[in-house]
Amino acid sequence: MPRRKVQQLVEEAKQLPYGERAELIEQLIAASAQDIDPAVEKAWGDEVMRRLKEIEDGKVQLIPGEVVAAKMRKILGRE
């Protein structure tokens, strides 16, 4: 699809009420999800299960969200 056409669609979508924009976004994401390669989806599922097992077995230590947020603020210079 030509770039101009995409930009036209974006501008039209911006004119929609919030709820309709949200619905459009949801439908576009759902349609995109149908294009996911089943092998890739399985690989991600396997990775999630592997990481979950590492957590449950105590092989990895989770970092509290507040600690991560503080580190990010420091990196971004927003302490």
32-74 pLDDT, tens digit each: 888 888 899 899 999 999 999 999 999 999 999 999 999 999 9
- Cα dist from 35 to 17, 38, 48, 49, whole Å: 28, 9, 20, 23
Give the separation between CA 72 and CA 56, rounded to whole angstroms: 26
Residue 16 has pLDDT above 70, yes or no: yes
pLDDT at position 66 is: 95
> How many distinct structural domains can be found in the chain?
1
pTM: 0.50
Domain that holds residue 9: 3-75
DSSP at 61: -
How does 2-28 read in b/e, with b if 16+ C-beta sit within 10 Å? Answer: eeeeeeeeeeeeeeeeeeeeeeeeeee
Residue type at 18? Y
Does the structure show a pLDDT above 80 at 1? Answer: no
